Chain A
């Protein structure tokens, strides 16, 4: 299966990015082959709706798990609709998070923050 993580750079030493929607890259980790691929997050240049676009990016990569420190409600809606499970990252290290996930030590991300565009009601 494929695990997606938002990361700060596309080098091996990269740390986890605090933002999901505007992370410059995603790291896609294939659990069977243990291979990592970096993909550009095209959402980063967006004026708005970055989370939605970023969600589409990881869906299209075939990820079934997302490990992230934060996630906005619009992105979460898309990700959940695709059947992807969202886990809260435990540290800044990619390797540690993947290990923690494999050992069943990560928790599901509970706090989904409000989108930067609000729903109607005054």
Chain B
């Protein structure tokens, strides 16, 4: 089963809109939402079955037993994350700042501190004829790379035998979750928009993805909002020897479709027509056995 990941660097360029269109166009039997911080794919691809929900455990959080605590303050002094504070009555761990390193546990002279298991999110898997894996990271959690890997793994394990292509909706940025989503995929499609921010973020994500051995392609969404920047992007792609698989116009009909929970190819609109061409070109790149 080949895996196509959709990334953007910048948020709001249209990753999820395009991913949902690709899933429908490909008739993909396996897909995943790796934007675990702010998942949106499920809003457009409503599922009929009851999902399997799994708790995702994070690092563990420090907990001070105030009955045992001798108020020495060693834990607070040595916490590099400023996660332990004196509360006027006792020392307390700031749940959101705590990174679960365990220094407080080890340093406490009276063994008053322990690490408690922490549910940092939830993985949801819809599995019947198609498989959809997604997750939601709890607010304030960090290091979601592992959760992204878990989402992909759930999809891979539950995917039907005859699933040929999996589509993965990625997260914005260039951090750990993005790196985790890149691992093991066959191709990444970078969705960008013709703004200075979009170009800057596109260049950062290209540099990040280039460290992996995989095929890369770029498509320009809302291209007609700034034609000169669109041309700039196409020139950058040519310079970097990256295939530009198409342009999609800004389309208010697309917004209307999304707000109804539909994909842009479910209605007749300009964006929908263009995304079909982008899809065909992207698949060609994916199946191209030669180098890019």
Contact = CB atoms under 8 A, between A and B. Distances in A.
User: CB–CB under 8 A between A and B in the complex?
Assistant: yes
A112 B184 CA distance: 12
A117 B180 CA distance: 8
A113 interface: yes
Nearest to B181: A116
A122 interface: yes
Nearest to B179: A116
Contact of B145 (A22, A111, A114, A116): A116
B103 interface: no
Given A47-B58, A48-B146, A116 B207 contact: no
B179 A113 contact: no
B176 A114 contact: no
Interface in A78-122: 111, 113-114, 116-118, 122
B145 A48 contact: yes
A117 B179 contact: yes
Nearest to B208: A118
Contact of A116 (B58, B180, B204, B208): B180
Nearest to B177: A116
B145 A118 contact: no
Contacts of B146: 46-48
B212 A117 contact: no
Interface residues of A, number: 12
- Chain B interface size, as a band, is 20 to 34
A111 B183 CA distance: 13
Contacts of B143: 47-48
Nearest to A113: B183
B211 interface: yes
A117 B208 CA distance: 11
Contact of B207 (A22, A46, A113, A122): A122
B176 A116 contact: yes
A46 B100 CA distance: 12
A122 B210 CA distance: 12
Of the listed residues B58, B180, B183, B204, the one surrounded by the most CB atoms of chain A closer than 10 A to its CB is: B183
Contacts of B59: 47
Nearest to A121: B207
A48 B145 CA distance: 8
A118 B211 CA distance: 9
Interface in B132-186: 143, 145-146, 149, 153, 176, 179-180, 183-184
Contacts of A45: 57
Given A22-B149, A122-B207, 18 more contacts: A22-B153, A46-B146, A47-B59, A47-B143, A48-B143, A48-B145, A48-B146, A48-B176, A111-B213, A113-B213, A114-B183, A114-B212, A116-B145, A116-B180, A117-B176, A117-B179, A118-B179, A122-B204
Which 8 pairs from chain A and chain B are nearest by CB?
A47-B146, A116-B180, A114-B211, A47-B59, A116-B179, A47-B143, A116-B145, A116-B183
Interface of A: 22, 45-48, 111, 113-114, 116-118, 122
Interface of B: 57-59, 100, 143, 145-146, 149, 153, 176, 179-180, 183-184, 204, 207-208, 211-213
14 contacts: A22-B149, A22-B153, A47-B58, A47-B59, A47-B143, A48-B143, A48-B145, A111-B213, A113-B213, A114-B212, A116-B149, A117-B176, A118-B208, A122-B204
